[in-house]
Amino acid sequence: MSSATGHFVAQRVTAIVLVLLGSWFAVSLNGLDSFEHAIVVAFIAEPLNGALLALMCASLAYHSHLGVQVVIDDYVHAAGLNKASLMFSRISHLVVVALSIYAVFEIGTSA
């Protein structure tokens, strides 16, 4: 499979995952009694919720990077700057997903 086909497939697989997890997250957020700390933490600390949240954050970051990559390739043509932008996107997404999953894990284990 070429890397372009890989991109196409990964974008769609994460899209389908996110249709499900994104909808779940939107409905769950709306179902919370309030956005007070105790209530939000109790929600995240539920093992199933924590696992789904972590999975959602990973899928979001992956899907987001794939999309940003297309935008960068469309608009940033200078080879050096293109490479640097892609690297910046990759690192930013990794940092965001690491922080998110660590936070979910931290809440789950300390609750």
Positions in the binding site for another protein (CB under 8 A): 12, 15-16, 18-19, 22-23, 26, 30, 35, 37-38, 40-41, 44, 53, 57, 60-61, 64, 67-68, 71, 93, 96-97, 99-100, 102-104, 106-107, 110
Cα radius of gyration rounded to whole Å, the chain: 17
Nearer residue to another protein within complex by CB, 71 or 84: 71
In whole angstroms, the minimum distance from the beta carbon of 67 to another protein comes to 5
Report, in Å, the least distance between residue 47 CB and another protein: 16
Q: Which is nearer to another protein, 36 or 83 (CB)?
A: 36
Measure the CA–CA gap between 13 and 110, rounded to whole angstroms. Answer: 33
For residue 54, which of 104, 17, 111 has the smallest C-alpha distance? 104
Q: What is the DSSP string of 42-90?
A: HHHHSHHHHHHHHHHHHHHHHHHHHHHHHHHHHH--SHHHHHHHHHHHH
CB of 107 to another protein, least distance (A): 5
